[in-house]
Structure 1
Amino acid sequence: MKKTKYISWPVLGLMAFVNVIGFDDIIYNFKNQGLGVITTWIFLFALYVIPYGLMVGQLGSTFSQSGGGLSSWVRATSGDTLGYLTAWTYWAASIPYVVDTANSVVVAFGWLINGNNSMEQHMSNAMFALLTFLVFIIFIFLQNHIKNSLQLLNALGGGAMFIMTILFVILTVVNLMHGAHIASAPLHVSNFTPKIDLHFFSTLGLLIYATSGSELVAPYVTRMRHPKRDFPKSIIMLTVMAGFLTIFGSFSLGVFFNDHHLPADLKMNGSYYAFDFVGRHIGLGHSMMFLFSIAQLLYMFALLALLLDAMTRMLILDTGKRFMPRQLLKLNRNGRPINGYLLTSGLSAAILLMGVFLPDMNEIFNWLLNLNGIVSPYVTCWIFFAFMQVRKNSQKFHSDYVFIKNDRVAYLVALWCFMITFIAATFGILPQDVPPSSFTYWQELVMNIVTPAILLALGLIMPTIARIQREKAEK
């Protein structure tokens, strides 16, 4: 009799943590809002992230036998067509995420090899795009040939990133106790008050992008020993870790960076600057920066593994023959949808090609990052949609774990989260890191509209191709 290998709830919590948030997410939003982001984080966790995670916990518990995650939830509550559309849009939204992650791998190697940001000054846009694409190809090959790579990488990557973040916060406190100067001083209430303007609203999508994604681990619920009991534990573990990371991490950044005069390349290189600062302040030279570079590579490898595997399985294995061309349904000897991986790589290459025409490597990185702040929140809306359908029909959908017993109140909380997410995604279309009305601003605005539209259109074409193939087979 074959012994079943279960995923424990702490490991699943780490897998969710890897996909949801990292030290870089703190850097990105610190660059957008400065120390005021701490207040934004607190409100976001209290009014959005905690209910979001607990809704995912109930959905995962309700559909614990469904292997497709979010798409399964929507299909079970609203039919096959919307289930497919959910799977496609989730997969399509993950394409910029995968590209951004592969970009970060290249940047991490640059810091590990050079010990500074000189790669940005010497590398052309085309070479940056080519190296990013090579990361895809190499990683798909390795993942396809290494057994149990997903769990191993996520345990190593998630653990290493959380340890490094705790270490950064601790070392920041040590520096302050030894009289280190606070770069953002003098500190007043105004430092922690976000400036509510058009720029603020355009950055909300990136905040939601930074804290969303826990539902991506839902396909692995069926591999837990007690999914209905343990999945909510994983989500609570994720929320605690992410809350610590964002709030204390943001304050620590304010110690080393003046939030009124931040470097233009902070989103791309800020994590390395931060660990280099803290290492030099405690007399360790550049060793902390190199240590973080290694942790960052492990984290990004884990994220690539989870994204390439989970998002492709959700799309290819959970939509069925009715919607997907038969070529994409083909599995290799390891049971992996290899043609789905190739489609992912091809579309990623197309997005990279679009970015080549931006002014420099830093702008490519920022544009891809901000693109995630548009497409990811739009897709997150499906979660709240599915939850509202479950609570509208609570007599039909039973769960051992229930978020808010009163159906009407639970529905209104989900509607609140839906509205916040949709509004944030829409404002995110506005470019954030370039001067308004400049040529690059209009260029990125067009790309922010065209890219999601093309990905959505391709998803609408797939069922037509599948239908034509079925008709030919029948004849």
Structure 2
Amino acid sequence: MKEEKKLGLMALILMIFTSVYGFNNIPRSYYLMGYAAIPWFVIAGILFFIPFAFMVAEFGSAFKDETGGMYSWMCKSVGPKYAFIGTFMWYTSYVLWMVNVSSGIWVPVSNLIFGEDCTSSWSFFGSKILSGSRLLGVMAIIFFIFITYFDSKGIDKISKVTSIGGTAVLVINIMVVVGSVVMIIARHGQLEQPFLGTESLMVPLNAAYQGSPIMILSFIVYALFAYGGIEAVGGLVDKTENPKKNFPKGIVAAALVIVVGYAILILLVGSFTNYSEILGTDSITLGNVSYVIMSNFAAAFGKVFGASVATQAALAHGFARVYALIMLLALMGAMFALVYSPLKQIIDGTPKELWPGKMGEIAEDGMPKNAMWIQCAIVCIMILLVSFGGDTMQQFFVILTAMVNVGMTVPYMFISFAFPKFKKMKNIDRSFEVFKTQKSANIWGYVVTLTLFFANAFAIIQPAIEGDWKTTFWSLSGPVIFGLAAWIIYKRYEKKLEAGEFNKENTDDVDDENENVA
């Protein structure tokens, strides 16, 4: 039997980097806070990213033979009901992501066709009823039904465009770094948005965040979201050379690279983007700000080297199209993969009888087709409700982004809260340990949980304080509705189990789970 090739330290750092780092987080963070976003990325890295990555690594190493992933970790540590609710909420965070991407994907389409985002002016043959966010909602529903139909046929080959998009995004990062440095040198060190040291790091450029401590604190959810994807790190421990030595080094090194990377790129965005001139209009949204900033990058580059206004405009439109194509490929690839993979993972990892009707069935081609169409209906209903809420395009994307940020960070609380209980377990593989004592596991387990809790609490409460009850409602609705749905599904399963409706083999499996917990 051929021995599996192990990851070296550099390969491990690159794996963690590609799982976590997201370029889109940079222009969005600059738009929301300017240079003042940087300290929050550092705080989120210390209080969440590094300790949480170590926890996930310990879980992954101890339960390396379990196929259920995070469900198995929490089931063994706390119990099957807790594990199911936590895993179900993790899965539904992808449902919220699908709602966001299905609606937001038309922004790169607009940039690709027209060289700028003009979705806010779109209408269906001049109809006022079907215009702006409403038209985007209807188009999003048609798009998502199309994706589900193709995926349900087992046609997942299109997800290969993810690798093309991923490589192209890496090229964009390099271009922005090199291009920005060239512009700074050409301007003899002058930045378009002046950097005033501590003042710039403390005072947000966005007027909405100035003088509002709760709004500033709510930003930490964006920083936490920027570190999302680290649950994938759990499976890398046993694939690493000399994991006891290299894995902690890899986590810390990757964290430093990511934190420093975010900080430097936010600074470089400011080097070619004057906040009030470029981002000070109502037409800028969280959906299109990346394209606005990247268009400005190309125009600013032309301006530094004496290009005419017409040439600058041509460069801006041309680069907006290139960037839009790259993001479209990346989002399409991710959508084709994520419409079925998280759903398949949660169904594979849990008892089939837990799911109502034929929802738990996996087709011969490996696709959970029944569940995919139920998922499609839920996504379409949510898109319809949000898009027809009577909001401006700017508010529409604020709501979608808030839903995803909260929805994707809340499930991490289940893992971090389970960690101290996992540490108390006996007779399990402890070949990889970072938290050597129960006390350190308790402290960091609760620090990470409380960081996530307070960040999400501020993010949910802040819009209501400002009078925006709709964003608060939708931010809270995801975790509450899906958490309640998970609890109802599991209670139904327990009642059927008590009534003896399942065969003996399945009952034994659940009894084994409960014995492990006890």
Same fold (TM over 0.5): yes
For 1:29 and 1:305, the matched residues in 2 are separated by 27
CA distance in 2, matches of 1:239, 1:11: 14
Distance 1:343 1:6 in 2: 40
Name which of 397, 410, 420 aligns with 1:378.
Answer: 410
Within a 5 Å distance, the mapping from 1:106-145 to structure 2 comes to 106-123=106-123, 124=131, 125-143=133-151, 145=154
Per-residue CA deviation, residues 258-295 of structure 1 (Å, 9 max, x unaligned), is 34673442422121112111212333813332222122
Q: Distance in 1 between matches of 2:379 and 2:459?
A: 21
Q: Is the 1:384–1:414 contact (alpha carbons within 8 Å) kept by the matching residues of 2?
A: yes
Q: Does 1:351 align with 2:359?
A: no
Contact 2:138 2:384 in 1 (8 A): no
Q: Give yes or no for the alignment of 1:329 onto 2:360.
A: yes
Q: Which amino acid aligns with 2:226?
A: A
Deviation string, structure 1 residues 201-255 (Cα, Å, up to 9, x no partner): 222222212212321575x769x86699598798668645533541122112222
Q: Paired residue for 2:290?
A: 271
- In the alignment, which residue of structure 1 is the partner of 2:466? 436
Is the contact made by 1:39 and 1:192 (CA closer than 8 Å) also made in structure 2?
yes
- Looking at structure 1, the residues matched to 156 and 5 of structure 2 have their Cα atoms a distance apart, in angstroms, of 15
Q: 2:300 aligns with which of 281, 292, 306?
A: 281
| 8 A contact 2:285–2:393 mirrored in 1 | no
Q: CA–CA distance in 2 between the matches of 1:467 and 1:53?
A: 33
The match for 2:486 is: 459
Structure 1 residues 301 and 126, CA gap change in structure 2 (3 angstroms): same
Find the aligned partners of 1:227 and 1:80 in 2 and give their Cα distance: 33
Deviation at 1:11, TM superposition (A): 9.1
CA distance in 1, matches of 2:408, 2:78: 21
Deviation at 1:175, TM superposition (A): 0.9
Residue of structure 1 in register with 2:443 after alignment: 412
Partner-residue secondary structure (3-state), 2:34: helix
Say which of 371, 391, 413 aligns to 1:340.
371
Deviations 1:276-332 (A, max 9, x none): 112123338133322221221232234324533442123211121342224111112
Deviation at 1:115, TM superposition (A): 0.7
State the AA in 1 paired with 2:182: V
Relative distance call for 1:14 and 1:455 in structure 2 (3 A) is: farther
Q: Is contact 2:406-2:456 (8 Å) kept?
A: yes
Matched, 1:182 2:194: no
2: CA distance, partners of 1:446 / 1:391? 36
Cα distance, 1:120 vs structure 2: 2.1
**Which residue identity lines up with residue 178 of structure 1 in the other structure?**
A
Match of 1:447 in 2: 474
State the shift of 1:95 in Å.
1.7
Distance 1:378 1:402 in 2: 25
Quote the Cα distance in structure 1 between the aligned partners of 2:404 and 2:172. 25
Contact kept, 8 Å, 2:272 with 2:296, in 1: the verdict is yes
Contact 2:117 2:288 in 1 (8 A): yes
**Cα distance, 1:474–1:119 mapped onto 2, change above 3 Å:** closer
1:304 aligned partner: 335
Q: Judge conservation of contact 1:70–1:216 (CA < 8 Å) in 2.
A: no
Whole-angstrom CA distance in 2 between matches of 1:397 and 1:305: 37
Per-residue CA distance 1:115-151 (angstroms, 9 max, x = gap): 111122224222201222233233334445345665x
1-side partners of 2:430 and 2:397: how far apart?
A: 42
Is the CA contact (8 Å cut-off) linking 2:352 and 2:361 kept in structure 1?
A: no
CA RMSD of superposed structures (Å) = 3.5
- Calculate the TM-score normalised by the size of structure 2: 0.79
Identity of aligned residues (%): 19
In the alignment, the residues of structure 2 paired with residue 148 and residue 17 of structure 1 have an alpha-carbon distance, to the nearest angstrom, of 25
Whole-angstrom distance in 1 between the partners of 2:361 and 2:4: 25
Partners of 2:334 and 2:298 in 1: how far apart?
26
Any unmatched runs of 5+ in structure 1?
none
Equivalent pair of 1:182/1:256 in contact (CA under 8 Å): yes
Aligned to 2:213: 197
Spell out, residue by residue over 1:99-121, the C-alpha distance to the aligned partner (whole angstroms, 9 max, x if none). 11223322111111111111222
**1:7 CA drift (Å):** 11
Quote the Cα distance in structure 1 between the aligned partners of 2:356 and 2:177.
49
Q: Distance in 2 between matches of 1:210 and 1:416?
A: 19
Matches within 5 A, 1:247-258: 247-258=263-274
Query: Could you tell me the TM-score, scaled by structure 1's length?
Result: 0.86
CA contact 1:94–1:376 (8 Å) conserved in 2: yes
1:429 deviation in Å?
0.8
Deviates more, 1:93-102 or 1:399-408: 399-408
Residue equivalent to 1:170: 178
Query: Quick one: which amino acid aligns to residue 417 of structure 1?
Result: V
Query: Which amino acid in the other structure matches residue 430 of structure 1?
Result: I
- In structure 2, what residue type is equivalent to 1:317? D
Higher deviation after alignment, 350-359 or 4-13: 4-13
Asked if residue 90 in structure 1 is aligned to residue 99 in structure 2, the reply is: no
Q: Which amino acid aligns with 1:23?
A: F
Q: CA deviation at 1:473?
A: 5.8
In 2, are the aligned partners of 1:19 and 1:303 still within 8 Å (CA)?
A: no
Distance 2:375 2:253 in 1: 31
Structure 2 unmatched runs, 5+: 124-130, 205-211, 303-311, 504-518
| 3-state SS, counterpart of residue 246 of structure 1 | helix
With 227-236 and 84-93 compared, the bigger mean Cα shift is at 227-236
In structure 2, relative to structure 1, the CA distance for the partners of 1:99 and 1:257 (3 Å cut) is: same
Q: Is the 8 A contact 1:117 1:269 kept in 2?
A: yes
Return the letter of the residue paired with 2:185: M
Q: Confirm whether residue 27 of structure 1 aligns to residue 2 of structure 2.
A: no
